[in-house]
């Protein structure tokens, strides 16, 4: 398949490299001209084991190319991934301005049917806004082109991203379209051979699944640290406690190692974004109840 990936960051590069590695023809778009030139030379701007080799090999085979020109990349594609950054905004929510910039760019250059897939971690409801933004630009152009918007969140661990993409434990696709679901099955077929890992659900459930997964992992880390603090004051051995609870298959051993807490580029911002979403819903519901009184 012909795939375009917007975003030459962590998720965008891993997605581009792995899809090209299995035979798809991928064009990766980034507006940073210097970064694009580096990538064309096979120099990876981030460290991820195995990624640079994939980038070099796939470019040599003609399956992967990098560009700063979105018009050509959109014309190339049957399917577009949005994999740009969503940093924390001032109010704690995820800033989707880059995602919506891509949506408007797609609208500016779209001439044939295409599927636009959000792979960035975005608040629930973002796919609806992406669809609206593309349609607004198409209406302004006076162009009646059909398109679909879907969700396909990433579940990549830093340091093991290639393995996570090539042998995923699940592939979550959010769509209400059978056509989109089948095309996504075709796209991911090389990663889905052992048993069916692809889960099709509605778009909002797909968007929330990503936040719920990261929040659950962050919760396990925070929980075991709280238990470790208790153990220290009570004279218990937290390592023995960890093994005792980890033996329960409902809990497991993953992410229950006491330490300095969770960090990185994803957990803090995603937990905060989910918290702000919940707070806004509580406020909205309270206002509704007051209005009904």
Look up residue 191 and give its DSSP letter: G
Look up residue 190 and give its DSSP letter: G
Catalytic residue, chosen from 28, 58, 266, 287, is 266
Active site residue 265: no
Q: Token pair of 277, please?
A: 């979403």
Q: How far apart are CA 9 and CA 20, in angstroms?
A: 16
From the CB of residue 157, how many other CB atoms can be counted at a distance below 10 Å? 11
Task: Give every CB contact of residue 26 below 8 A, 6+ residues apart in sequence.
Answer: 3, 4, 5, 16, 19, 20, 58, 63, 64, 65
Furthest CA-CA distance within the chain? 72
Nearest residue to 119 via CA among 158, 77, 74, 149: 149
Phi and psi at residue 115, to the nearest 5°? -110, 125
Region for residue 8 given its phi and psi (left: phi exceeds 0; alpha: psi -120 to 50; beta: otherwise): alpha
Are residues 13 and 44 in contact, defined by beta-carbon separation less than 8 angstroms?
yes
Catalytic residue numbers?
A: 266
């Amino acid at each position: 398949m012909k795939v375009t990936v917007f975003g030459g960051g962590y998720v965008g590069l891993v997605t581009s490299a792995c899809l090209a590695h299995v035979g798809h023809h991928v064009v990766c778009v980034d507006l940073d001209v210097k970064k694009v030139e580096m990538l064309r030379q096979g120099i990876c701007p981030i460290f991820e084991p195995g990624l640079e080799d994939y980038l070099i090999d796939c470019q040599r085979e003609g399956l992967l190319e990098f560009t700063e020109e979105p018009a050509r990349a959109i014309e190339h594609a049957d399917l577009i991934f949005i994999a740009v950054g969503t940093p924390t905004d001032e109010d704690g929510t995820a800033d989707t301005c880059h995602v919506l910039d891509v949506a408007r760019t797609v609208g500016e250059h779209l001439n044939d049917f295409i599927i636009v897939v959000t792979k960035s971690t975005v608040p629930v409801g973002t796919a609806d806004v992406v669809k609206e933004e593309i349609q607004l630009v198409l209406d302004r152009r006076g162009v009646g082109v059909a398109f679909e918007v879907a969700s396909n969140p990433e579940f990549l661990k830093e340091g093991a991203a290639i393995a996570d993409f090539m042998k995923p434990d699940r592939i979550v696709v959010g769509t209400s379209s059978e056509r989109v679901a089948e095309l996504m099955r075709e796209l991911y077929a090389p990663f889905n051979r052992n048993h069916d890992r692809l889960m099709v659900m509605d778009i909002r459930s797909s968007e929330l699944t990503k936040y719920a997964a990261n929040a659950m992992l962050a919760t396990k880390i925070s929980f075991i640290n709280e238990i470790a603090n208790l153990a220290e004051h009570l004279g218990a051995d937290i390592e023995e406690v960890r093994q005792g609870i980890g033996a329960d298959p409902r809990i497991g051993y993953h992410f229950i190692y006491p330490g300095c807490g969770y960090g990185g580029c994803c957990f803090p911002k995603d937990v905060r974004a989910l918290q702000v979403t919940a707070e806004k819903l509580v406020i909205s519901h309270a206002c509704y109840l007051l209005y009904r009184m």
